[in-house]
Chains A and B, each alone.
Chain A
Amino acid sequence: MIRSRALAAALPGFALVLSVTVLADAADKKVIRLWQTETEPQTLAVLNQTAAEYEKTHPDVSIKIEGLAWGDLEKKLTAALAAGAPPDATHGQPITCVSFAAKGLLRPVDDLADSIPKDNLVDAFRNLCRWDGRTYGVGHSPASSVFVYRKDLLEQKGLKVPRTWGELVQVADALREVKDGQVVRWGLTMTGQPLFINIAVGELLKTNGGRLFDAEGRPTLTERPVIELLDFYKQLNRVLPPGWTGHGYLDTFANLANGKAAMLYQAYGRGVGYIEKYAPKEIADPDHFAVADKMVGPSGKTPAAQLDCEPWMVFKDAKGGNEAVDFLRFFFRDENYIPYLHSVPIHLLPIKKSTYRNPRYADNATIRKWRSWVDMQGKYFRNDWIKPVLVTDWDDMTKPYLLEVMGSGILVDMVLDSVKGMPSAEAAARAQKRVEELLASSGYLKK
């Protein structure tokens, strides 16, 4: 009894000593905060494992990695910057990186880029984020948006894979299935999430030979390719599920995997995980869920897709900037990088040529099974058919205001105005005026 009382009395003391020790230990360490957009549990586990490995050889550093939803990243970064508490390093869209670099918020990361080194970077991603001759961002892993279709359903109906915008609408119409007066399968699914409408506008405009800005940086929304794009959206609106403007990115994967839709225009390699998890086992393979070139618009010549490759960027005022770069060098070592890529194998592709050649990278069952999906993305990389969000030409990466244009939602409003029935020319003219006003009021454009 006496012993247990003594123990009970001693316990709070032990707890206090333990807490003080832990806190003192934590206080001695320099905490490096990294924000990144890969939120799948297995990826976070790999990143945390890499951080733990790094900390073993750097006992004075504590790496804190936080996963943030892709669609929220820009807003959260802005709020953190406004509060004066950004992380040390973060992912961001390439246009975010350029915007931040232009505003003097970033630390150059030439040291990180040189450590890869440059000729080891996949050619298309060497200049993802450069400003005034310096490198401010190094992509963690590139991916291309892909067009996915149910090969078996097209074959059953004797349909060919669409090659043009017009054919896409026709095929989507033909693939729609109705039972007892209800649509049980839609021909096509697309997300109405603002970020993805921004992505689609840039991507579709590129496939239609169009652009968002002229060489002087003035918006060009009243040009013919944009009007054609808005007309195309009107047609898409007829064949998409009626609630598509409210459908999230993951809803569209669910629609495809569950058989609620036969084609997905804005798919990514990540979708393979959903197909394997939710589609019937006997069809969860690339023979049923096939990929094809994206469709070309009436004024365009080549397909185009969106480059999904957030650069790692380091804030200029970060107290742990050098340590963050050192950790990222460690992250890009194949022994750490390959497990990271394998955590979402068809979506996280290597940015280093040497990793592509590494037999350990290719030794992955999912990559072997879904090889056609990887090859399709490789085709886009090789042909330079991919561009970051809202970029229709690499020269657009010198425009530091694309982030503001994306965040304003003006292009999303333009698409929705058109979809709701406003004449395309009027919707485009309204958006043109709003972008001009935005750029003028932000000091980017003379009135």
Chain B
Amino acid sequence: MLWILPALVLIVGLILYPVAYAIWLSFFDKHSFFPAERWVGLGNYARIAGDAEFWDSLWKGVVYAAATTGLQLVLGVAAALVLHQAFRGRTAIRALVLFPYMIPTIVAVIVWRWLLNETYGVVDDLLLRFRLVREPIVWLGVDHMMTSLIAVSVWQFTPFVVVSVLARLQTIPLELYEAARVDGASAWARFRHITLPQLRAVLFVVVLLRSIWMFTKFDTVWLWGEGAGAGREIRTLPIYAYMRTFTYYQAGFGAALAVIMFLMLMAATLVYFRLFWGEEEAA
């Protein structure tokens, strides 16, 4: 038993304790840095239920997570299929595709904010030069803040899907495709009846991880909206929890928001597992 003690200490110290402390804190009216706290029971949760800002940020978070996960999945699988084909320069392109995932978030955000600036950015300049738009698109303004954030997030995180799917594609026995070809199966039929079922397990994990990570994504969203009034258009739940804790100084309320996020993700994960394993058993 002794040999699992270090791992146990790490799990308790780094996972269970912070979660338990956040839950405990959520029952208090606690100032963020002032040693003053008052037991309020479920008071913070009751306030959250009636808080329009919470519902708004929850909706924005769901839109952001769903859109980015969906797009990453479609583009990631498509890119992996292309990169699985044999062509000249494939190795170099595979390395290049990983690039967005390797650069630090702050660098990606600064570069993209610069490229998308409607006054001097390259993107609008090109769109105007090629007469694809009549007016510059205000990517960082209130109307397109969410769209541009989704685009940049998809650019940044799709390589994760590409790598995961590509790794699995390389382990699918070629005999399956050859047999299907002999039977006269079209490319679409081979994709639908061989590739997709073989990718099922990896896609399950990818969707689970990416949706959790996008729903709780803080750094990209914060940096994209920070420093701009239009940032409130992308005020997702993690951002709102941070604001309540560190700019409203309401640590208890912020902890309650974090607990709600945790419970939502737990519930969604359980439902997802049940659906997946239910289908597996049926199959």
Chain A interface (Cβ < 8 Å from any Cβ of B):
71, 74-75, 78-79, 81-82, 103, 105, 181-182, 192-194, 197, 241-248, 251, 254-255, 258, 260, 404, 407-409, 412-413, 415-416, 419-420, 434, 438, 441-442
Question: Which DSSP category, helix, strand, loop or mixed, fits chain B's interface?
Answer: loop
Give the residues from 229 to 283 in chain B that come closer than 8 angstroms, CB to CB, to chain A: 229-232, 243, 245-251, 253
Q: What would 14 more interface pairs be, CB under 8 Å, given A407-B247, A416-B232?
A: A78-B249, A79-B246, A82-B33, A194-B228, A194-B229, A194-B231, A247-B228, A248-B228, A251-B117, A408-B247, A409-B247, A416-B229, A434-B53, A438-B248
Find out whether the CB atom of A242 lies under 8 angstroms from the CB atom of B141. yes
Q: Which residues of A contact B246 (CB under 8 A)?
A: 75, 78-79, 82, 407
**How would residues 136 to 152 of chain B score, 1 for a CB under 8 Å from any chain A CB and 0 otherwise?**
10111110010000000
Interface size on B, residues (CB 8 A): 36
Residue of B nearest to A79 (CB): B246
When the two chains form their complex, are residues B227 and A248 in contact, meaning their CB atoms are under 8 A apart? yes
Residues of B within 8 A of A244 (CB): 141
Distance of A409 Cα from B234 Cα, bound (Å): 14
**Which residues, 15 to 70 on B, are CB-close (under 8 Å) to A?**
29, 31-34, 47, 53
Q: A404 and B138: CB pair below 8 A?
A: no
B134 at the A interface (CB under 8 A): yes
Q: Is B47 in contact with A243, judged by CB distance below 8 angstroms?
A: no
In this complex, the member of B120, B229, B253 whose beta carbon has the largest number of chain A beta carbons within 10 angstroms is B229
Smallest Cβ distance from A177 to chain B, in angstroms?
14
Q: Is the CB of A78 within 8 A of B248?
A: no
Contacts of B128 on A, CB cut-off 8 Å?
182
A75-B246, A241-B119, A243-B118 as given contacts; A192 in contact with B47, CB under 8 Å: no
Q: How far is the CA of A415 from the CA of B139 in the complex (A)?
A: 20
**Do B248 and A408 have beta carbons less than 8 Å apart?**
yes
Question: Contacts A103-B34, A245-B141, A260-B119 hold; do A78 and B227 have CB atoms under 8 A apart?
Answer: no
Name the B residues within 8 Å of A194 (CB-CB): 227-229, 231
- Is A243's CB under 8 angstroms from B140's CB? yes
CB distance from B57 to the nearest CB of A (A): 12
- Can you list the 6 inter-chain pairs with the closest CB atoms, starting with the nearest? A246-B140, A407-B247, A81-B33, A243-B138, A192-B229, A245-B230
B contact residues around A182 at 8 Å (CB): 128, 135-136
Q: CB distance B232 to A246 under 8 Å? A: no
B229–A245 touching, CB < 8 Å: yes
CB-defined A-B contacts under 8 Å, sample of 24: A74-B247, A78-B33, A82-B245, A82-B246, A105-B33, A182-B128, A182-B136, A193-B227, A194-B228, A242-B135, A243-B136, A243-B140, A245-B141, A245-B228, A245-B229, A245-B230, A254-B120, A255-B119, A407-B249, A408-B243, A408-B247, A408-B248, A412-B232, A415-B229
Asked whether A181 lies within 8 Å of B249 as measured between CB atoms, the reply is: no
Query: In the complex, which residues of chain B have a beta carbon less than 8 angstroms from the beta carbon of A79?
Result: 246
State in angstroms the CA–CA spacing of A408 and B138 once bound together: 26
The residue of chain B having its C-beta at the shortest distance from the C-beta of A76 within the complex is B246
Give the distance in Å from the alpha carbon of A181 to the alpha carbon of B134 in the complex: 8
Q: Is the CB of B243 within 8 A of A409?
A: yes
Residues of A within 8 A of B139 (CB): 243, 246
Contacts of A193 in B (CB 8 A): 227-229
Cβ contacts under 8 Å, A408 to chain B: 243, 247-248
CB pair A442–B142 under 8 Å, yes or no, is no
Known: A404-B248, A413-B232. A246 touches B33 (CB 8 A): no
> How long is the Cα–Cα vector from A255 to B145 in the complex, in angstroms?
21
B230 touching A409, Cβ below 8 Å: no
Q: Which residues does chain A contribute within 8 Å of B31, judged by CB atoms?
A: 103
Q: Which residues of chain A have C-beta atoms less than 8 A from B53's C-beta? A: 434
Given A242-B138, A243-B141, decide whether A192 and B248 contact each other with a Cβ distance below 8 A.
no
Q: How far is the CB of B90 from chain A (nearest CB, A)?
A: 39
The smallest C-beta distance from B137 to any residue of chain A, in angstroms, reads 9
Bound-state CA distance A246–B234 (Å) is 12
> Chain A: which residue is nearest B43 at the CB level?
A441
- Nearest neighbor of A78 in chain B, beta-carbon distance: B246
- In the complex, chain A residues whose CB is within 8 Å of the CB of B253: 441
B249 CB to closest chain A CB, in angstroms?
6
Which A-chain residue is minimally distant from B224 (CB atoms)? A246
- Which of chain A's residues has its CB closest to B242's CB? A75
Smallest distance from the beta carbon of B45 to chain A beta carbons, Å?
14
Measured in the bound complex, the distance between the Cα atoms of B217 and A286 in whole Å is 46
Kindly provide the distance from the CB of B35 to the nearest chain A CB, expressed in whole angstroms.
10
A181 to chain B: closest residue by CB: B134
CA distance A241 to B140 in the complex (A): 12
Q: How far is the CA of A179 from the CA of B253 in the complex (A)?
A: 52
Q: In the complex, how many angstroms separate the beta carbon of A84 from the nearest chain B beta carbon?
A: 8
Chain B residues within an 8 Å CB radius of A75: 246-247
- Closest-by-CB residue of B relative to A180 is B128
| Distance in Å: Cβ of A99 to nearest Cβ of chain B | 9
What's the nearest-Cβ distance from chain A to residue B171, in Å? Answer: 45
- In the complex, which of the residues A181, A245, A415, A420 has the most CB atoms of chain B within 10 Å of its own CB atom? A245
Residues of chain B with a CB closer than 8 A to A82's CB: 32-33, 245-246, 251
Residues on B with C-beta less than 8 A from A181 are: 134
B232 to nearest A CB, angstroms? 6
Q: Please state if B230 and A246 are interface contacts (CB–CB under 8 Å).
A: yes
B228 touches A241 (CB 8 A): no
User: Which residue of the partner chain A has the closest CB to B251?
Assistant: A82
Q: How far is the CB of A86 from chain B (nearest CB, A)?
A: 9
Q: How far, in whole Å, are A441 and B119 apart by their CA atoms in the complex? A: 42
Chain B residues within an 8 Å CB radius of A254: 120
Query: Is the Cβ of A407 less than 8 Å from the Cβ of B119?
Result: no
Q: Are A246 and B228 in contact (CB under 8 A)?
A: yes
How far is it, in angstroms, between the C-alpha of A74 and the C-alpha of B226 when the chains are bound? 14
Report whether B118 and A242 are in contact in the complex, using a CB–CB cutoff of 8 Å: yes
A207-B93 Cα distance, complex, nearest whole Å: 59
Residues of A within 8 A of B119 (CB): 241, 243, 247, 251, 255, 260
* A247-B228, A412-B229 given; A442·B250 CB < 8 A: yes
B228: chain A residues at CB < 8 Å are: 192-194, 245-248
Please report which residues of chain B, range 190-235, place their CB below 8 angstroms from some CB of chain A when the two chains form the complex.
227-232
Would you give the shortest CB distance from A227 to chain B, in whole angstroms?
19
Contacts of B32 in A (CB 8 A): 78, 81-82
B142–A420 touching, CB < 8 Å: yes
